[in-house]
């Protein structure tokens, strides 16, 4: 109902009377007042003038479910949103909801995370109100070995959304980070629940530094605000991301992963670079040649032998010259 009141106020030209809303929404005028009061507590600046009614002055800078969904117009991505003021990690909450059967496209986001994390349990700094910290539930009919394309697809969708809303072009550091001017602006984390031969659901987490200030970040990180020198509307970026995700996910499901690969090749922080990569099976060093059709990274070692890694920590080394 709060969402419907907000919609009413947003669509209004000037003031809306309490009576009008009460009639239209089939609730009492006292109920209208109660919802207006709750919205004010959420940070909406709503003017109330006797005999005129209510007028929306300004929106809060918050990732609220009804703001994310206002005018979103996707088919399923973000059609169910759970927004929290604070969570330990949106990943765990999403996993819980996934186990309870939450539908594909469900979004969990939080203003701040107390235990935000990246790959392999590393922490992700999540200062309140500054970034986009969200997890998405997907239910693709894939094998558990087919996850790397989903991570890369998310990187592409996020890069596209950033470019559309801020004109910033980021590059993809295989397997799961986005960089601007060699600094990390976003990270992606893919987790799954699966049988050996069937994925039950996937949770894709995104941490994007939007209005984060430099003192809140590691030296190796940046934010959209630092890069543009402007405060960025998180809702706009996030809506663009959800729309973009729906499109790119659709392509991957239709077997058009090549279009993701093309984007990755054109905007890569890894391909052609001399890299050292570490995973559970050991180290590999050499020139990153290309991303393979399954999302793995192909590396030509000094011996000439080409190896493929499906994930891992990548260090970009200075070119020998």
Which chain residues interact with a second copy by CB under 8 A? 92, 95-96, 99, 119-120, 141-145, 147-148, 151, 175, 189-198, 200, 279-281, 310-312
Instruction: Say how far apart CA 97 and CA 100 lie, in whole Å.
Output: 5
Report the residue number, 156 or 232, with the smaller CB distance to a second copy: 156
Report the residue number, 3 or 140, with the smaller CB distance to a second copy: 140
178 and 184 Cβ atoms separated by less than 8 Å: yes
Q: How many CA atoms lie within 13 A of 153 on its CB side?
A: 28
Tell me phi and psi for residue 263, to 5 degrees. -65, -45
Consecutive H or E run containing 177 = strand 177-180
Q: Least distance from C-beta 40 to a second copy, angstroms? A: 37
Q: Give the CA distances from residue 314 to residues 148, 173, 275, in Å, rounded to whole numbers and listed in that order.
A: 15, 8, 6
Q: Least distance from C-beta 262 to a second copy, angstroms? A: 22
Please name the residue ranges forming H helices in 176-233: 224-228
Q: Which residue has the tokens 């663009």?
A: 240
Q: Least distance from C-beta 190 to a second copy, angstroms? A: 5
Q: Least distance from C-beta 169 to a second copy, angstroms? A: 26
Q: Least distance from C-beta 306 to a second copy, angstroms? A: 20
3-state DSSP assignment of residue 182 = coil
82 Ramachandran zone, left/alpha/beta (phi>0; psi -120 to 50): beta
Q: Least distance from C-beta 151 to a second copy, angstroms? A: 6
Q: CB neighbours of 162 closer than 8 A, spacing ≥ 6?
A: 168, 170, 178, 185, 186, 208, 224, 237
Report the residue number, 16 or 202, with the smaller CB distance to a second copy: 202
Q: Least distance from C-beta 194 to a second copy, angstroms? A: 6
Report the residue number, 131 or 205, with the smaller CB distance to a second copy: 205
Report the residue number, 112 or 144, with the smaller CB distance to a second copy: 144
> Nearest Cα to 317, choosing from 272, 274, 279?
274
Report the residue number, 18 or 140, with the smaller CB distance to a second copy: 140
Please name the residue ranges forming H helices in the chain: 2-11, 18-25, 29-41, 65-69, 90-99, 148-166, 224-228, 234-253, 257-266
Q: Least distance from C-beta 145 to a second copy, angstroms? A: 5
274 and 287 Cβ atoms separated by less than 8 Å: yes
Cα-Cα-Cα-Cα dihedral of 190, 181, 162, 192, to 10°? 0
Report the residue number, 200 or 265, with the smaller CB distance to a second copy: 200
Report the residue number, 78 or 312, with the smaller CB distance to a second copy: 312
Q: Least distance from C-beta 130 to a second copy, angstroms? A: 25
Report the residue number, 197 or 319, with the smaller CB distance to a second copy: 197
> Nearest Cα to 56, choosing from 74, 35, 76, 75?
35
């Amino acid at each position: 109902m709060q969402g419907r009141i907000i919609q009413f106020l947003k669509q209004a030209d000037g003031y809306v009377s309490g009576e009008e809303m009460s009639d239209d929404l089939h609730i009492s005028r006292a109920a209208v007042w109660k919802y207006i009061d709750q919205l004010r507590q959420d940070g909406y600046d709503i003017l109330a003038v006797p005999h005129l009614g209510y007028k929306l002055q300004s929106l809060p800078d918050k990732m609220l479910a009804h703001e994310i969904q206002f005018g979103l117009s996707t088919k399923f991505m973000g059609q169910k949103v759970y927004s929290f003021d604070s969570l330990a990690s949106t990943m765990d909450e999403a996993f819980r909801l996934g186990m309870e059967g939450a539908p594909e496209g469900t979004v969990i986001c939080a203003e701040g995370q107390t235990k935000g994390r990246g790959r392999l349990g590393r922490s992700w700094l999540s200062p309140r109100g500054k970034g986009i910290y969200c997890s998405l539930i997907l239910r693709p009919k894939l094998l558990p070995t087919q996850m790397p394309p989903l991570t890369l697809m998310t990187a592409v969708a996020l890069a596209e959304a950033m470019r559309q809303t801020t004109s910033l072009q980021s590059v993809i550091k295989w397997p799961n980070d986005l960089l601007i001017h060699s600094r990390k602006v976003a990270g992606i984390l893919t987790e799954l629940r699966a049988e050996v031969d069937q994925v039950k659901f996937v949770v894709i987490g995104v941490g994007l530094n939007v209005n984060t200030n430099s003192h809140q970040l590691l030296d190796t990180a940046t934010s959209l605000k630092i890069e543009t020198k402007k405060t960025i509307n998180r809702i706009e970026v996030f809506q663009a991301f959800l729309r973009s995700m729906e499109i790119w996910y659709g392509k991957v499901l239709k077997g058009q992963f090549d279009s993701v690969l093309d984007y990755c090749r054109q905007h890569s922080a890894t391909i052609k670079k001399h890299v050292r990569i570490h995973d559970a099976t050991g180290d590999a060093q050499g020139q990153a040649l290309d991303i393979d059709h399954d999302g793995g990274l192909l590396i030509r070692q000094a011996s000439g032998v080409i190896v493929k890694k499906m994930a891992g920590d990548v260090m970009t080394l200075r070119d020998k010259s």
